[in-house]
Amino acid sequence: MPVLKEISLSGNVALITGGGSPWGRAIALALADAGATIAVVSTDAEGAAETARQVEATSHRALSAMVDVRDAGSVRTMVGRVLGELGRIDILVNGEEVIFGRSVAETTAEEFRRALEVNVLGTFLCCQAVGPHMMERGRGRVINMATALSVRGVVNATAYCASKGAIENFTQALALEWAEYGITVNALGPGWFADGPVDVERDRAERTLVRMIPQQRRGVPDDLAGLSIYMASEAGAYMTGQTVFLDGAMLGHL
Amino acid sequence: MFTERFSLDGKIAIVTGAGRGLGRGQSLELAKAGADVVCAARTVEEITETAAMVRALGRRALVVQTDVIDSAQMERLVGATLAEFGKVDILVNNAGGGGMQGKPQHEITDDEWRYVIDLNLSSVYYGARAVYPHMAKQGKGKIINVASASGMRGDRRNVAYAASKAGVINLTSALAVAWARDGINVNCISPGPFPTERWQVTPEPAPGSGRARTLPSARFSPMQRGGRMEEMGYLCVLLASNASDYINGQNVLIDGGAMVGGYAPTGYTLDSYLAE
């Protein structure tokens, strides 16, 4: 089947944080399918190892490691290990995130801080640790995790919405800072996604939700694959600072 | 498994404004990804040349002279596509343009106004309307419109163009909402500075050099270069392919970071501002 050669990631190394989550796993498998070697890291060491096993099962090289993205020292050690073992990092996917939903009245300062630290500070620290290596080589790809909630609100989600709004704007500002080094910084913006099968027939709330999505279905992790490959590849070299939403047209009317 | 989703093997694509510039770039990358391409534009010599380039890549091509401001001609374009290839999977509404540069913006005549709106906005609707029944019937279709950064911010030299492109961006979103249930994805691309034969990105124009029709110079492009035609083509392939099935109603910018920096001159930093 004819496929553009410019989407090939052959010879590239992708570092994926939060790689144990269904989203991180789908991105890892997608980038591996395009030819990249994968380093999967997460606070969830077991999940990261499982993703690495699944990547290796598709005959691509993968390693996994534990990291606390809130801790600069932990991030530096992890990046040093990946560079030591794989020699380079071409693609950084900042997938580690806390999905946190609670009202302001019920949210403690500690919980709010944790959401901001994992989602925003963690993204910052990973970029900071990988940046010099990419700048030195004059090439790099950063893919952050935004969401439709970066640009809309929802009830009982101030911590999550604030952190993801920050990611969209962080992406714009860092894109400008690193543009001259040949590094692009973009974000994926998933809408209503489900990480497993949903029984639309039985679940009334689910039926209502799906009716609100013009495409009449929730997104699944694999829906992130194509855009991830594009943003990670040579084909996406002139796109930077963008959050591209994958939402089945939901933002078009909500 | 995932990379195969980028393949356009067996797909039929219509590209308007295919004779040069971005339209040619899109046609060629669609062809490289596997699509057969129907090349439409007013100037037959130019689309004939694009069609020859598509055939040289081993794909089929069809030349249909079309003026996109005429809805009957857009219907005929789709009819000719169906007659030749039996279906249409992808429509790229790329044709557009028209400017009132240099003219005081309060002196635009009714005819000039209508021309710009028709050329950039009505044409997109005419094209989408013409392919809709066929795409809806097959339960799948990809419509890609070309908008512009001018549709997102003001442009003091060209208000009609700015209004028409803003229309394209919201028409895209509205059509996506309307037709998502039919399996049709409608997205648009807003390209930044892409040098063409007519439009050049000047590296650093001398002040007062009076060079006409130049895009914001490289000084205003965070990546310090213009886009390449192929790069417009790759994005077009993404949006035309199964790799983007859940992306719908989006305005996707490809501009080397120009818009997120507000076209601030590169080298302009917040700390230098604070130090002033």
ipTM, interface predicted TM-score of the complex: 0.96
Residues 6+ apart with CB under 8 A from B245: A223, A226, B185
Q: How far apart are CA A151 and CA A164, in angstroms?
A: 8
A-B Cβ pairs (cutoff 8 Å, strict): 164
Q: How far apart are CA B177 and CA A236, in angstroms?
A: 27
Q: How far apart are CA B59 and CA B184, in angstroms?
A: 24
Q: Is the per-residue pLDDT at A63 higher than 50? A: yes
> B3 — contact with chain A (CB < 8 Å)?
yes
pLDDT mean across residues, chain A: 96
Q: In a 10 Å sphere around its CB, with 0-12 CB exposed, 13-18 middle and 19+ buried, how is residue B12 labelled?
A: buried
Q: How far apart are CA B43 and CA B39, in angstroms?
A: 11
Check residue B23 and give its pLDDT: 97
Check residue A38 and give its pLDDT: 98
Q: How far apart are CA A93 and CA A53, in angstroms?
A: 18
Q: How far apart are CA B12 and CA B60, in angstroms?
A: 9
Ranges of H-type helices in A104-144: 109-116, 122-137
Asked if residue A97 lies in contact with residue A119, where contact means CB atoms within 8 angstroms, the answer is yes
Q: How far apart are CA B260 and CA A170, in angstroms?
A: 11
Q: In a 10 Å sphere around its CB, with 0-12 CB exposed, 13-18 middle and 19+ buried, how is residue A214 labelled?
A: buried
Q: Is the per-residue pLDDT at B213 higher than 80? A: no
Q: How far apart are CA A121 and CA A142, in angstroms?
A: 15
Across-strand partners of A140?
A183
Name the residue in chain A with its Cα closest to that of B247.
A246
Q: How far is CA B217 from CA B224, B266, B269, in A?
A: 8, 10, 18
State the pLDDT confidence band at A240, using cuts at 50, 70 and 90: very high
Ranges of H-type helices in B86-122: 110-117
Q: How far apart are CA A97 and CA A122, in angstroms?
A: 8
Q: How far apart are CA B203 and CA B205, in angstroms?
A: 6
Task: Provide the token pair at A50.
Answer: 């499982």
Q: How far apart are CA A13 and CA B202, in angstroms?
A: 35
Q: Residue for token digits 């040093």?
A: A80
Q: What is the mean pLDDT of residues B254-260?
A: 92
For residue A1, give the nearest of B9, B176, B185 by CB distance.
Answer: B9
Kindly report which listed range (A108-117, B191-200, B239-248) carries the lowest average pLDDT score.
Answer: B191-200
> B272 — contact with chain A (CB < 8 Å)?
no
Check residue B218 and give its pLDDT: 55
Q: What is the mean pLDDT of residues B159-167?
A: 94
Q: How far apart are CA A55 and CA A62, in angstroms?
A: 6
Phi and psi dihedrals of A63, rounded to 5? Answer: -130, 160
Q: Is the per-residue pLDDT at B180 higher than 80? A: yes
Kindly report which listed range (A215-224, B144-153, B260-269) carries the lowest average pLDDT score.
Answer: B260-269
Phi and psi dihedrals of B157, rounded to 5? Answer: -95, 0
Per CB-CB distance under 8 Å, the chain B contacts of A58 are 1
Could you tell me the residue ranges of all domains in chain A?
10-252
Helix B110-117, helix B159-179: angle, nearest 10: 40
Check residue B205 and give its pLDDT: 44
The distance of Cα B204 from the centroid of its chain, to the nearest Å, equals 27
* Sheet strand arrangement including A13-17: A62-66, A37-42, A13-17, A91-94, A140-145, A183-190, A243-246
Q: Which of B161, B234, B263, B273 is catalytic?
A: B161
Q: How far apart are CA A37 and CA A90, in angstroms?
A: 10
Ranges of H-type helices in B57-201: 71-85, 110-117, 123-138, 159-179
Residue to test with chain A: of B168, B169, B175, B223, most A Cβ within 10 A: B223
Per CB-CB distance under 8 Å, the chain B contacts of A33 are 1-3
> B128 — contact with chain A (CB < 8 Å)?
no
Could you tell me the residue ranges of all domains in chain B?
3-275
Name the residue in chain B with its Cα closest to that of A168.
B260
> B250 — contact with chain A (CB < 8 Å)?
yes
Q: How far apart are CA A27 and CA B64, in angstroms?
A: 41
> Given an 8 Å threshold on Cβ–Cβ distance, is A222 in contact with B2?
yes
Residue to test with chain B: of A238, A246, A253, most B Cβ within 10 A: A238
Check residue B265 and give its pLDDT: 58
Asked if residue A135 lies in contact with residue A178, where contact means CB atoms within 8 angstroms, the answer is yes
pLDDT mean across residues, chain B: 90
pLDDT tens profile A86-145: 999 999 999 999 998 999 999 999 999 999 999 999 999 999 999 999 999 999 999 999
Phi and psi dihedrals of B152, rounded to 5? Answer: -115, -20
Domain with residues B3-275, CATH architecture: 3-Layer(aba) Sandwich (3.40)
Q: How far apart are CA B58 and CA B49, in angstroms?
A: 15
Which CATH code for domain A10-252?
A: 3.40.50.720
Active site residues per annotation of A? 160
Query: Taking phi first (over 0 means left), then psi (-120 to 50 degrees means alpha), and beta for anything else, what does residue A35 get?
Result: left
Q: Residue for token digits 């790759």?
A: B234
Asked if residue B44 lies in contact with residue B63, where contact means CB atoms within 8 angstroms, the answer is yes
B132 is catalytic: no
Kindly report which listed range (A229-233, B99-103, B177-181, B190-194) carries the lowest average pLDDT score.
Answer: B99-103
Q: How far apart are CA B23 and CA B28, in angstroms?
A: 9
Q: Is B69 helix (H, G, I), strand (E, B) or coil?
A: coil
| B184 min Cα distance to partner chain A (Å) | 9
Phi and psi dihedrals of B37, rounded to 5? Answer: -125, 130
Q: How far apart are CA A252 and CA A76, in angstroms?
A: 40
Q: What is the mean pLDDT of residues A199-225?
A: 90
Per CB-CB distance under 8 Å, the chain A contacts of B234 are 4, 6-7, 230, 235-236
> Given an 8 Å threshold on Cβ–Cβ distance, is B257 in contact with A176?
yes
Q: How far apart are CA B17 and CA B23, in angstroms?
A: 5
